[in-house]
Amino acid sequence: MAENYAAVLHGPYDIRIENCPVPEINDDEVLVKMDCVGICGTDVKLYTTGACGIEAVTEPTIIGHEGAGVVVKIGSNVTSLAVGDRVSIEPTQPCRSCEYCKVGRYNLCVAPHYCSTVGASGNLCRYYKHVADFCHKMPDNLTMEEGAAVQPLAIAMHACNRAGIKLGQRVLILGAGPIGILCAMTARAMGASKILITDVVQSRLDTARELGADYALLVKRDYSDEEVVDGIVAQLGCQPDVTIDACGYASVQRVAMLVTKTAGVVLVVGIGDNKVELPLSQALIREVDVRGSYRIVNTYPPAIAAVSSGAIALKKFITHHFPLEKTKEALELAKSGNAMKIIIHVQS
């Protein structure tokens, strides 16, 4: 029997590498020998607090939801994949029967079985099972590392689609973490003419400038909302048509409401606190559209195609590599903010 070592979270700061049973697949599933898994901000929040948004760790849970590997077994009903196929795993298994699934918005499914949530194993392990039609065959020119990093790119693409980014628009992105930078790269590919990104860490801004942003603004933690707004307008030369909140802090959301041009769009993709105080009326009387973006819907194939074609280059976005047994060190590095995208190599 193969050994299935996995990164299991038992509670805040309690991550253990354990040998778990190799999962048995159903007729519509495949067994994947995992190769690369990315570390995400969600993983860091679960690791440090035991919760992220509406999700909480109530029992030992295998973490990880940014994965790529090789199919080693297929269910009897599977025709889309074969043993040996390299796949990038879209980390959801929606119910397919609720009202949201039926209209194609499966990211809002009432029972999504999203990787590393209660009742749904994560894929930071050596062997993982998943429904076959949410395992996407990878082109030959994609590396396994890129296949894992497609997941946050697909989130960024959904966010930019929700924001309705158009050719020639001026875009502000608040937060130069992985999702913020991928939103900048996506917005550039979608035709944004000017992109400004903000953060409190200069090294992240430097990376953002390399990967797609025209302007970068370092924000001090003691700046007032008005000072941040003035700095943005001064650098961009105007108010942004679209503002994307990629970090979820209340201060950032206030700035987004204040700085976005009249009749513009504020798109919130960062997961923040359940309650925040915002200058909402000031934005609404200017008909600023405030929208949310949650997870992924129908953007995995376009994300894979964008990387394969060279429209979006992920290689520079991937900055650090760790073996499975050093998952705790990888999470600590991600927590520090000194890495962009960390990849765990689960077979090494």
Distance between CA 181 and CA 283 in Å, rounded? 25
Over the stretch 198-257, which tens digit does the pLDDT of each residue have? 999 999 999 999 998 999 999 998 999 999 999 999 999 999 999 999 998 999 999 999
The pLDDT of residue 98 is 98
Over the stretch 125-177, which tens digit does the pLDDT of each residue have? 999 999 999 999 999 999 999 999 999 999 999 999 999 999 999 999 999 99
Which among 217, 144, 228 has a CA at the least distance from the CA of 184?
217
SS3 207: helix
Reported as type and span, the H/E element at residue 86 is strand 86-89
What share of the chain has pLDDT > 90, as a percent? 88
Q: Which residue has the higher pLDDT, 286 or 339?
A: 286
**Mean pLDDT along residues 316-344:** 95
Q: What phi-psi label fits residue 113: left (phi over 0), alpha (psi between -120 and 50 degrees) or beta?
A: left
pLDDT band at residue 53 using 50, 70 and 90 as cut-offs: low
**One-character DSSP codes across 276-309:** ----HHHHHTTT-EEEE--S-SS-HHHHHHHHHH
Say whether pLDDT at 192 is over 90: yes
Q: What phi-psi label fits residue 177: left (phi over 0), alpha (psi between -120 and 50 degrees) or beta?
A: beta
The pLDDT of residue 118 is 78
Contact 179, 246 (CB under 8 A): yes
The pLDDT of residue 147 is 98
Q: In this structure, what are the phi and psi dihedrals at residue 342, rounded to the nearest 5 degrees?
A: -100, 130
Contact 203, 177 (CB under 8 A): no
CB-based contacts of 64, cutoff 8 Å, min separation 6: 7, 37, 38, 43, 115, 116, 122, 123, 124, 125, 344
Residue tagged 């993983």 (tokens): 43
* All structural domains of the chain with their residue ranges: 4-137+314-345, 154-292
Over the stretch 108-121, which tens digit does the pLDDT of each residue have? 999 999 999 878 99
The CATH number of the structural domain formed by 4-137+314-345 is: 3.90.180.10
Contact 63, 50 (CB under 8 A): no
Reported as type and span, the H/E element at residue 140 is none
The pLDDT of residue 177 is 92
The pLDDT of residue 153 is 98
Say whether pLDDT at 1 is over 60: no
The pLDDT of residue 54 is 66
DSSP-derived letter for residue 333 is H
Residue 306's alpha-carbon distances to 41, 146, 147, 166, 223, in angstroms, are 23, 11, 12, 17, 37
The pLDDT of residue 215 is 97
Kindly state which CATH superfamily the domain 154-292 is placed in.
Answer: NAD(P)-binding Rossmann-like Domain (3.40.50.720)
Nearest 10 degrees: Cα torsion 179, 181, 182, 188: 140
Say whether pLDDT at 56 is over 80: no
CB-based contacts of 51, cutoff 8 Å, min separation 6: 45, 57
pLDDT band at residue 343 using 50, 70 and 90 as cut-offs: very high
Mean pLDDT of the chain: 95
CB-based contacts of 54, cutoff 8 Å, min separation 6: none
pTM assigned to the model: 0.94
